[in-house]
Amino acid sequence: MTATRGSPSASIQCCVNQPQSQDRSHIIVLGNEKGGSGKSTMAAHLIVALLKRGFKVGSLDLDARQGTLSRLLENRAGYAERTGIHLDCPEHRQVHRSESNARGVAEWEEKRALDRTLEDLADCDYIVIDTPGSDSFLARAGQACANVLITPINDSFLDLDLLARIDPEGGRILSPSVYSQMIWEQRKERASNGLPPMDWIVIRNRLSHIDAHNKREIGRLLGLLSDRIHFRLAPGFGERVVFRELFLKGLTLLDLREDASDITLSMSHVAARQEVRALLQAISLPLNKNPVSKESAHGSAVPASLDGNCRSDTGSISEQPGIP
């Protein structure tokens, strides 16, 4: 569907109607309609992990008003400049929501800005997209582009409600949520357009280190829900102060080495870094760039030597299983 100015609504299928060539970037989207789930922190760690493995990475902040990922990357560039320490940085962009009061016009402008920004980053092996913690046309359009959709949720029944309605008495799954239905529709649309399946990964984030009853019950329900609406489960990050401490420096746990920062490594840092590595392994990111060909789903061939300059620009105005 081609949207025109003044049409009632632009199609949210940002990338679905575009043929995927072997050279197209592999898009990883962090999506969750609830705020505070750790999307931006997780996005930053994925970006740095891919950069350190030799890939050219683009990053896109669709939550430009809040701008958490953008500020983290600005802090990263500033820290590198102040200390003289080399830090790999992605090609970063922002897309702002339209200011138009007319819904059709606003959606057309947002879709056009998103499409143009993705084209601008088309030479990247990977594009990592951080989305708002709320429902919006721009968030849905970004998620529709995902080769891999990562949905981090806090380990609580409040966040579990994002995925499904739960019977409060019997602890049964009553039905998938509106969000889960939306993802299913997007996956079905990709299949009907002959595109590779969207790999949906739900991550239990900010896990308590105490083996409580609620923690076990949420794990049980997520296991049942995974079989029912077809997502993969992966471990996330524990509730650790270190993730918040690193924000002002723009660092991730993958940057911390005794010879490369002014932060003294503690056992908590080491344990948290192991959580990051476990997450990367669960997501099945490639170990390095060299073995990856253009035929692979994980990117295209570009020189392994990357420029580490941070840039922040603003964008202008298979068959899929069903949900029972």
CATH of the domain at 195: 3.40.50.300
Residue whose C-alpha is closest to residue 189's, from 139, 225, 121, 141? 141
Average pLDDT over residues 175-196: 89
- Total of domains in the chain: 1
Inter-residue contact 241 to 247 (CB < 8 Å): no
Residue whose C-alpha is closest to residue 88's, from 73, 103, 102, 105? 73
Inter-residue contact 128 to 43 (CB < 8 Å): yes
Q: How much is the pTM?
A: 0.80
Q: In angstroms, what CA-CA distances link 33 with 51, 107, 187? A: 27, 18, 18
Q: Which range of residues forms the domain containing residue 61? A: 26-290
Q: In angstroms, what CA-CA distances link 98 with 68, 111, 138? A: 19, 10, 9
So what's the pLDDT on residue 114? 96
- Arithmetic mean of pLDDT over the chain: 79
In a domain, 310, yes or no: no
In a domain, 101, yes or no: yes
So what's the pLDDT on residue 290? 56
In a domain, 284, yes or no: yes
Percent over 70 (pLDDT), the chain: 77
Q: What angle do CA 129, 272, 225 make, to 5 degrees?
A: 60
In a domain, 297, yes or no: no
Q: Counting Cβ atoms within 10 Å, is residue 193 exposed (0-12), middle (13-18) or buried (19+)?
A: middle
In a domain, 203, yes or no: yes
Average pLDDT over residues 114-142: 94
Given a cut of 50, whether residue 129 has pLDDT beyond it is yes
Contacts with 188 (C-beta within 8 Å, 6 or more apart), sequence order: 320, 322
Contacts with 52 (C-beta within 8 Å, 6 or more apart), sequence order: 88, 254
Give the pLDDT band (50/70/90) at residue 311.
very low
Contacts with 225 (C-beta within 8 Å, 6 or more apart), sequence order: 163, 164, 173, 231
In a domain, 80, yes or no: yes
Residue whose C-alpha is closest to residue 138's, from 94, 181, 180, 191? 94
Given a cut of 80, whether residue 1 has pLDDT beyond it is no
In whole angstroms, give the CA distance from residue 280 to residue 237: 11
Radius of gyration of the chain (CA): 19
In a domain, 1, yes or no: no
In a domain, 300, yes or no: no
Please give the torsion angle defined by the CA atoms of residues 14, 18, 19 and 21, in that order, rounded to the nearest 10 degrees.
-70
Q: Parallel, antiparallel, or unpaired for β 148-154 and 26-30?
A: parallel
In whole angstroms, give the CA distance from residue 124 to residue 301: 10
Give the pLDDT band (50/70/90) at residue 263.
low
In whole angstroms, give the CA distance from residue 185 to residue 64: 26
